[in-house]
Amino acid sequence: NKAMILRTSLLAEGTTGYRVINGENDGFPGLVLDLYGKTIVLKLYTIAWTSYLDVLIMLFKKKLSVERCVLRWSRKVAESKKVSKKYGEGCLLFGEKVKEPVCFKENGINFEADVISGQKTGFFLDQRNNRQTIRSISQGKSVLNVFSYTGAFSAYAFAGGAVSVLEIDSNSRALMASRKNLRLHFQNRNFPTKEFSQIKADGFEALSELDLNNQKYDLVILDPPAFAKRKNQKNTALNAYMKLARAGAKVTKKGGILFAASCSVHVTKSSFFESVFLGIRSAGCRFEEISRTGHAKDHPSIFREGEYLKGVFCEVV
């Protein structure tokens, strides 16, 4: 009940896709529950919850107005081969079989999620607040979205009035999903190449190429995957964040805005921000910090180790 009360305002904000239970932060260690319209996705990080699945199903049906529940496992548990065939990855706990990506809204914008095989539970719900900020500052801007994945930041930028968006991602399926998401929300709009284009490439390499060609943008978004998945990768990750910020700053127009984010739990907020600022300075740019961001209300964190998401908006001056 406490978890649901914390998220009551989201529907009024035009959001039908959000995290209902955020693990131990909501009193359910090793368990995440995400809602996508009428579909919920239960992701488990420990085999211990298997014995309680019947109780959980009964609880979900009682508290949530949903039609189906999909079960997902963390990669570590899935690879341990301890999961029974009855409760395999992507199985249906109740409801009709998922035959296609499910649709939902986030701040009034239409998206779809692959709840069976998509990353995490099908969509990165934790960046909702940052995406809304991007929407509010995109009017009339050229936008570069690096590590664009399924294009959520791009959809928000266009919803906010961006004149153009260039996406960079190395995943062909993600780029295709991004195009589908744009068509889903902007059903009566065509996007000529001068307004929307994509580059399938490594983010660092593509940024270097853009810099060589003297390409610059009003708004640059840097939202990479986790660079530090283990504690001993922290220093390598900080160096990567510094290099990424430097590359991003080089293609940001004077007076433009650079947004950098990290989802690495092993990288502290202070060390991440320091790396980003060092990267911008090493690009020969001066900047003014606009704001620092963290977790949205549906991703509460009650302990330091749970504060994995951090972001910063900077104006390059």
- Backbone phi and psi for residue 55, each to the nearest 5 degrees, phi listed first: -65, -40
Residue 120, sorted as left (phi over 0), alpha (psi -120 to 50) or beta, turns out to be left
- Backbone phi and psi for residue 238, each to the nearest 5 degrees, phi listed first: -60, -40
Q: Are strands 217-222 and 142-146 parallel, antiparallel or unpaired?
A: parallel
CATH number of the domain located at residue range(s) 2-107 in this protein: 3.30.750.80
The class level of CATH for 124-316 reads: alpha beta
Domain ranges of the chain: 2-107, 124-316
Long-range contacts of 291-297 (CB under 8 A, 24+ apart): 291/133, 293/129, 293/130, 293/133, 293/261, 294/269, 295/126, 296/126, 296/128, 296/129, 297/6, 297/7, 297/9, 297/10
pLDDT one digit per residue (tens) for the chain, 317 residues: 778 888 888 988 999 999 999 999 999 999 999 999 999 999 999 999 999 999 999 999 999 999 999 999 998 998 887 888 889 999 999 999 999 999 999 999 999 999 999 989 999 999 999 999 999 999 999 999 999 999 999 999 999 999 999 999 999 999 999 999 999 999 999 999 999 999 999 999 999 999 999 999 999 999 999 897 888 889 999 999 999 999 999 999 999 999 999 999 889 999 999 999 999 999 999 999 999 999 988 998 888 777 899 999 999 99
Question: Global pTM?
Answer: 0.94
